[in-house]
A and B are shown apart, each in its own frame.
Chain A
């Protein structure tokens, strides 16, 4: 009889423990599917002059064309000391007065989709044409903190009110992250911002930065004035 009682007690404790642990589990993020059909719109007025020919120099427009990795002893303005690693593939025009506020508008859409800001990541730079300096990533987000098996990951810079985004899908860390796809990164960002009500113009600006599965074009994403 005492064995039965002790069994019941163990079962009860196990049941309650399991229930408490299940209740303590965090909720999964309800992310936007990459397969969402995006209704493309015409390129907005601010980028009109940038859509008719390829942009081949970062001094031409506020849009960055690449993100860069610095050499060990890099000076912040020395073009030779920064090596281009990945192409900018999304250009965003948030409805905000300042660069900082614009980046926050962009990040808010991603965090609302379940992304994390400032994940564990490598440090990259982009060139600000107004100062000639290479600027460390200003706002970043990813679907998971480490990307154990893969993740979508973006780095952003805002120069003169225009946000340049490098969006990609990381490979799992084995032991370093590699690039699984730029194309899927750009598509996912377009789907997420379209779902959030921003206007999306797919592959509107030719940044002449094609590499791997990236065709060299950036998608333009515009926030309507609130």
Chain B
């Protein structure tokens, strides 16, 4: 893990350790890049929101210039990418199961705040699904880099790796409960829009399943070995 380089975009990074946790990312510089990306997203969201809510006289700000429409266009594209693709890119690039899971939820939360509603609609269900799969991919990407093996669950792993495995399993459980509730309640058209993203569960369950299978095997093998030693 390289944490020596404390400069991003020519600026010195803060001296704290907030960018250094393995659940956040492998390399400090890359984690800072995604933090900057999120800051841009939040900034654009703020501009777009101001355009519709701030009025001059009786006229909303966004009617003053068509550029606000361009901001909405960019924001919709950026938010959609953040909900669907960016978490996978980040997970493969910099590991960090917690950030990989949280990334797609950021635009969804911003939308909830702006709309004043907290609902598990299609966007939120997709974000949970993608976040869970990206989190599993982050676990795998971290271990592949650290062990140099494409099946890292087979080798001996430390306590920290075990904690990450447990953390990702928790995330999967939470996302699965949310999506199950969503699927059981919403009308068929919402399921139709969600369905293409259901394939992400293959990644989530495949990766975490492989880890737990290896963990169980190791536990059984160690019990058998200790029983043999006792007899």
Q: List the interface of chain A (C-beta within 8 A of B).
A: 10-11, 14, 17-18, 21-22, 25-35, 70, 72, 111, 114, 116-123, 136, 143-152, 169, 172-177, 184, 188
Contact = CB atoms under 8 A, between A and B. Distances in A.
The 7 A-B pairs at the shortest CB distance, nearest first, are namely A145-B111, A175-B77, A116-B115, A149-B193, A173-B80, A150-B193, A33-B187
Contacts of A21: 170, 174
5 contacts: A21-B170, A31-B190, A136-B63, A148-B80, A151-B122
B173 interface: yes
B170 A173 contact: no
B83 interface: yes
Given A22-B174, A33-B188, A145 B120 contact: no
* Residues of A contacting B: mostly: loop
Nearest to A171: B193
Given A29-B119, A136-B63, A172-B80, A148 B126 contact: yes
Nearest to A145: B111
A24 to B, nearest CB: 9
Given A26-B118, A26-B119, A118-B114, A35 B188 contact: yes
B122 A120 contact: no
A29 B188 contact: no
B139 to A, nearest CB: 15
A152 B121 CA distance: 12
Interface string B68-100: 110011011101110110000000000000000
Nearest to A20: B174
Given A14-B170, A33-B188, A151-B193, A173 B76 contact: yes
A29 B60 CA distance: 30
Contacts of B52: 118
Contacts of B69: 122-123
B115 to A, nearest CB: 4
Contact of B120 (A17, A27, A120, A147): A27
Contact of B187 (A14, A32, A177): A32
A31 B77 contact: no
Contacts of B112: 26, 145
Interface residues of B, number: 59
A15 to B, nearest CB: 9
Nearest to B123: A144
Nearest to B125: A28
B48 A120 contact: yes
B120 A143 contact: no
Given A28-B120, A149-B193, 15 more contacts: A18-B170, A18-B174, A21-B174, A25-B120, A28-B119, A29-B121, A33-B187, A116-B117, A122-B72, A136-B60, A145-B123, A146-B83, A150-B189, A175-B76, A188-B189
Contacts of B181: 25, 27-28
Contacts of B127: 148
Nearest to B52: A118
